[in-house]
Amino acid sequence: MKPTDEQAAAADAFRAGEHLALQAGAGTGKTTTLALLAQYVKRRGRYLAYNRAVAQDAAVRFPRTVQCKTTHSLAYAAVGHRYSRRLNTPRRPAWQTGQALGLAKGIRVGEREISQRALSHVLLRTVSRFCHTTDEAVTQDHVPQLRGLEDLNLHRELAAHIVPIARKAWSDLQNTHDGCVRFEHDHYLKIWALTRPRLDADYLLLDEAQDTDPVVEQIFLAQRDHAQLVMVGDSAQAIYHWRGAMDVMAGLDGTQLTLSQSFRFGPRLADEANRWLHLVDAPIRLTGTPAVPTEIGTVGDPDAVLCRTNVGAMAQVITLMAAGHRVALVGGGDSLRGLAEAARDLKEGRRTRHPELVLFSSWGDLQEYASYDPAGRDLQPLVNLVDAHGTDTIVAAVARLAPEQHAQVTVSTAHKAKGREWPRVLIADDFARPEDDRQADPASASVSPGPVDDAKARLAYVAVTRARHRLDPAGLPDTRNDPGSTVRRSGRPPAARRSAVAGSAREGG
């Protein structure tokens, strides 16, 4: 295929030896472009992928002069293999790990009693968060916030108890043959990063650079003095800031170029994508392919329904199953089943070990927190879902999920839809719902315009660009007629949408 002008410009910059940040919009053929760059030179390269499947696919497309690996596989070859005896060992309850490290009893912080089991979960999450940073030691910044302990002083009090034990856990993980903490893949990646590794290559290609963990960014940028750096990604798809990922593309000291010609969809969908790119102030606008006549309008039989939240996705699953559809859920339903089982415990008067709900003593306690505490707003959809359908219905729906290859419709969050595409896509209405909607039936909620939420707009961009042939944007907030670029609720009330597809009226947020 003849390169586009943008691909040719990227090839020229690459051959000139320039460090390069390549903004590649949805469907613009970024992997094809990177393979094209590699074909122009005889130098040794490394392509760094974000997961094994992507690396394996790239290995077929790149010349033999390029080694296609994940950063974890590089870390394993360097240091991880020393810990092979500790990898994939049987799982053990977190409380046993905490006990082995000297965490013997619970504590009281403020008005909350935190059990030994809950503290043990916090301990392991602290170590995990540390592993995604460039920090050299565990500090209070790595201790996660707990529901009900959002106050800064309360968090400091919790951290003072957790940090010393987390440091002991990290020391335990240095033992190559045995230890009480279960050894995970992110552990050897962090251990490798702390050695300041030097990658033996003439150039490095970093994929999905907009969602790079700080620890991977540090490894990549440290090669600058001896290797040409090329990072490719889409800054508008930077949707993992909440878990520590960073968009490192804009900050690269090098040539900034773009790929804007999308081969996935046509001009009409490109216009819809550009609306969201404008709202997030993205450095790129897309051009659709005229030979791909993507339509925008009602989709009665979607191949995929895309949601903003996990809870919204579960509501879609339940509604679609009730209408007789065979439904798949991207990523499976284990996390949702876990939340439902935790809710069941609370409703039956038992405390739960689920890290999101561990500090609540009863279902009423959680309902009050979600309804009246600003920090609990994102739990309101879960409360609504459970109150509307019951925990047994949710657990049963998860058990009935079909494999994607046998499903009539696939449900996914926008996060998990990244890198995917379907012929016909419907956007669920949990995108448009205000965060502070407290109503069980959003059709009765008031319409309150406000500034566009950047995170939602990025997710909307990801969602609309998953469609190839037809997109139904019914669930998106309508901003077309808003000169101030604010997000408003759709003028069409959610209750009027197709009930078999558009989802539960009790989800959102």
Token pair for 380: 């309101």
Residue 170: pLDDT over 80: yes
**For residue 220, what are its two tokens?**
């990549």
Q: What is the mean pLDDT of residues 139-156?
A: 91
The token pair at 163 is 């940090």
Q: Tell me, what's the pLDDT at 446? A: 36
Highest mean pLDDT among 149-153, 401-405, 477-481: 401-405
pLDDT at 480 over 90: no
Name every residue whose Cβ is closer than 8 Å to that of residue 444 and which is 6 or more positions away in sequence. Answer: none
For residue 452, what pLDDT band results from cuts at 50, 70 and 90?
low
Residue 239 has pLDDT above 70, yes or no: yes
Q: What share of the chain is helix, strand, coil (3-state, %, to 5)?
A: 45, 15, 40
Number of CB atoms found within 10 A of residue 279's CB: 24
What does each C-alpha distance from 282 to 19, 25, 183, 274 come to in angstroms? 21, 10, 39, 9
Q: What is the pLDDT of residue 496?
A: 26
Residue 239 structure tokens: 């949707």
Give the count of alpha carbons within 13 A of 336, CB side only. 32
Instruction: Give first-to-last CA distance, the chain, whole Å.
Output: 44
Contacts of 175 (CB under 8 A, 6+ apart): 86
The answer to whether 34 and 55 are in contact (CB under 8 A) is: no
Output 197 or 443, whichever has higher pLDDT. Answer: 197
Structure confidence at residue 2 as a pLDDT band (50, 70, 90): confident
Burial 425-449 (b: 16+ CB within 10 A, else e): bbbbbbbbbbeebebeebeebeeee
Bridge-partner residues for 470, per DSSP?
295, 424
pLDDT at 483 over 60: no
Confidence of residue 241 (pLDDT cuts 50, 70, 90): low
Mean pLDDT, rounded, of the chain: 85
* Size of the chain, expressed as the number of residues it contains: 509
Residues 122, 144: Cα–Cα separation, whole Å = 7
pLDDT at 499 over 70: no
Q: So what's the pLDDT on residue 486?
A: 43
pLDDT reported for residue 433: 57
pLDDT at 178 over 70: yes
Task: Flag whether pLDDT at 161 surpasses 80.
Answer: yes
Supply the pLDDT for residue 438.
35
CA distance 312 to 335: 13
Q: Which of 96-100, 109-113, 195-199, 462-466 has the lowest mean pLDDT?
A: 109-113
Confidence of residue 479 (pLDDT cuts 50, 70, 90): low
DSSP run (H or E) holding 244? none
Q: Record the pTM.
A: 0.78
Give the model's confidence band at 443: pLDDT under 50 very low, under 70 low, under 90 confident, else very high: very low
**What pLDDT is attached to residue 487?**
38
CA 316 to chain centre: 19
In this predicted structure, what is the pLDDT of residue 66? 95
The percentage of the chain sitting over the pLDDT mark of 70, rounded to a whole number, equals 88
Which of the four pLDDT bands, split at 50, 70 and 90, describes residue 477?
confident
Q: How confident is the model at residue 453 (pLDDT cuts 50, 70, 90)?
A: confident
Per-residue pLDDT band at 445 (split at 50, 70, 90): very low
* Average pLDDT value for residue range 16-41: 92
- pLDDT for res 430: 84
Q: DSSP of 354-421, one letter per residue?
A: -TTTTT-SSHHHHHHHHHH-GGGGGGHHHHHHHHHH-HHHHHHHHHTPPPGGG-SEEEEEHHHHTT--
pLDDT tens for 253-307 read 889 999 999 999 999 999 999 999 999 888 899 999 999 989 999 998 999 999 9
Q: Residue 508: its pLDDT value, please?
A: 33
For residue 70, name the pLDDT band (cuts at 50, 70, 90): very high
Q: What is the pLDDT of residue 485?
A: 46
Average pLDDT value for residue range 327-335: 91
Q: What pLDDT does 272 receive?
A: 94
**Which of these ranges, 20-34, 212-226, 477-491, has the smallest mean pLDDT?**
477-491
